[in-house]
Amino acid sequence: MATLRDIRRRINSVRSTQQITKAMKMVAAARLRRAQENILRARPYSFELREVIGHVVGLVDRGLHPLLREQPEVNRVGLVIVTADRGLCGAFNMNIIRRSLQEIERLQNEGKEVQLMIVGRKAREFFKRRDYPIIGQYYDLFSQLNFAHAQRIGSEIIRLFAEKELDQVLIVYNEFKSAIQQRVVLEQLLPLQPKMPEDVTGMVQYIYEPSPDKLLDVLLPKLINIQVWRILLESNAAEQGARMTAMEMATENAEEMIEQLTLFYNKVRQATITKEIIEIVSGAEALKS
């Protein structure tokens, strides 16, 4: 049976852990506000740029630009996996890894060669211990996230696809919905598939200067970089939301554990006092006899 000292030590340990989780929740909440502001600012530009490029692509032959050209047969697929650099954020990282493994299995069953590009330390730690070909690793980005990181990743993706080392590029990441909700998303980055406007009847016919194909030489790489930047911001905001929720639940669990341990402590203390009283009374009765 645990002694009173052991129970007090356990209560103090849980209370110290609770203080840490509460502090981590506050830090995650502050970072979430900044990350949410950043993603809400980036989304309109990203979506509008994709729509504009969709309009331009509708006027040209997709075979004119290497980033639009679809291979007749897809044999080599690059899978970009975006996780966090740190843990303590619930199932955030494991959801991405699980979805990635499912996609890898599906592609391999179709006879395709899969090569991984890792973004985030948690994905790197998981896949480097397993027999998967890794063609790129990017980690420790989210502590000081900036657009240069997206450009570096986007440029490498463009190079691999343009040089025909990859026939298709997919990306898996967590999309930020709210502080308590994230959604695992699988998107195709390359070849680009810009969406044409739904209402093409009222679409304005623009006059392009220079020609549409020259515009695409500038806009398509920019679109890839912007999409990668948006995805990094989405993942960062989703990570902070998941960590805030996880730390809040951990704090509540610690409070519940403290209450249970305190109740157990009082029961043990009362039992100890009762036992001592019985021993005293028994000793007094023995002296009388």
The H-or-E segment that residue 170 falls in is strand 168-178
Q: State yes or no: pLDDT of 201 exceeds 60.
A: no
Structure token pair of residue 231: 């995805």
Give tens-digit pLDDT for 202-257: 556 667 777 777 878 888 899 999 999 999 999 999 999 999 999 999 999 999 99
Catalytic residue among 89, 158, 190, 216: 89
Rounded Cα–Cα distance for residues 24 and 121 (Å): 20
Q: How many CB atoms lie within 10 A of CB 255?
A: 14
What is the percent of the chain where pLDDT is above 70? 93
Q: State yes or no: pLDDT of 169 exceeds 90.
A: yes
3.30.70.1450, 1.10.287.80, 1.10.630.10, 2.40.50.140: CATH of 4-22+250-288: 1.10.287.80
Rounded Cα–Cα distance for residues 232 and 238 (Å): 10
Structure token pair of residue 39: 């993603």
pTM: 0.86
Q: Looking at per-residue confidence, does 197 or 123 come out higher? A: 123
What does DSSP assign to residue 88? -
89 is catalytic: yes
What does DSSP assign to residue 188? E
Nearest to 217 by CA among 28, 37, 65: 65
Give tens-digit pLDDT for 33-62: 999 999 989 999 988 888 878 777 766 777
Q: How many CB atoms lie within 10 A of CB 271?
A: 11
Helices (H) and strands (E) in the chain, counts: 5, 5
Rounded Cα–Cα distance for residues 148 and 162 (Å): 21
Residue matched to tokens 């006059």: 207
Q: Provide CB contacts within 8 A for 98, sequence distance 6+.
A: none
Provide the residue type at 107 as one letter.
L
**Is the Cβ–Cβ distance between 112 and 74 less than 8 Å?**
yes
Give the CATH class of 23-246: alpha beta
What is the percent of the chain where pLDDT is above 90? 59
Respond yes or no on whether the N-terminal peptide bond of residue 210 is cis (omega within 30° of 0). Answer: yes
Nearest to 59 by CA among 207, 272, 222: 207
User: What is the reported pLDDT for 197?
Assistant: 59
Rounded Cα–Cα distance for residues 275 and 273 (Å): 5
Instruction: Report long-range pairs for 1-7 (Cβ below 8 Å, ≥24 apart).
Output: 1/268, 2/268, 4/265, 4/268, 4/269, 4/272, 7/261, 7/264, 7/265, 7/268
Give tens-digit pLDDT for 128-168: 888 899 999 999 999 899 999 999 999 999 999 999 899 99
Q: What does the mean pLDDT of the chain come to?
A: 88
Provide the residue type at 185 as one letter.
V
Q: Provide CB contacts within 8 A for 46, sequence distance 6+.
A: 226, 227, 229, 230
Q: Where are the domains of the chain?
A: 4-22+250-288, 23-246
**Is the Cβ–Cβ distance between 182 and 176 less than 8 Å?**
yes
